[in-house]
Amino acid sequence: MSNHEDDDRGGAPAAALVVTVVDDRGVAERLARSAVESRLAACAQLEGPVLSTYRWKGQLCSDQEWRVVAKSTVHASADLVDAWAAAHPYEVPEILVQPVLGGHRPYLDWLATEVADRPGR
């Protein structure tokens, strides 16, 4: 596999967004920073606070949370999911991977290079 993890769109890097939420901004910042420091993501953004409404253990809940969106590759996304799951304070954390269908090619190239240059890879 190349450093850019080509897909079937003529060599465009196979990018992915990895998304989670937490109820503490400090934890969100640590998750974002760890993703970039470990080179599992090229960058990460915090959004929020957002209001989440969900059912948990039979109860309807609404809580303020912070969303972390990491820009990664499809290949590295499984490692990022594992890293965030291990560090996440929730019993059952929401960690979702969304493949990117396209985008600005220079950005996608930069993203793939930043993630591909991980130590030990």
Residue 65 has pLDDT above 80, yes or no: yes
Q: What share of the chain is helix, strand, coil (3-state, %, to 5)?
A: 30, 35, 30
Q: What is the mean pLDDT of the chain?
A: 90
Q: Show me where the domains of the chain are located.
A: 15-116
In sequence order, what E strands does 12-83 have?
15-22, 43-56, 59-73
pLDDT recorded at residue 5: 46
For the entire predicted model, the pTM comes to: 0.88
Residue 4 has pLDDT above 50, yes or no: no
CATH class (in words) of the domain with range 15-116? alpha beta
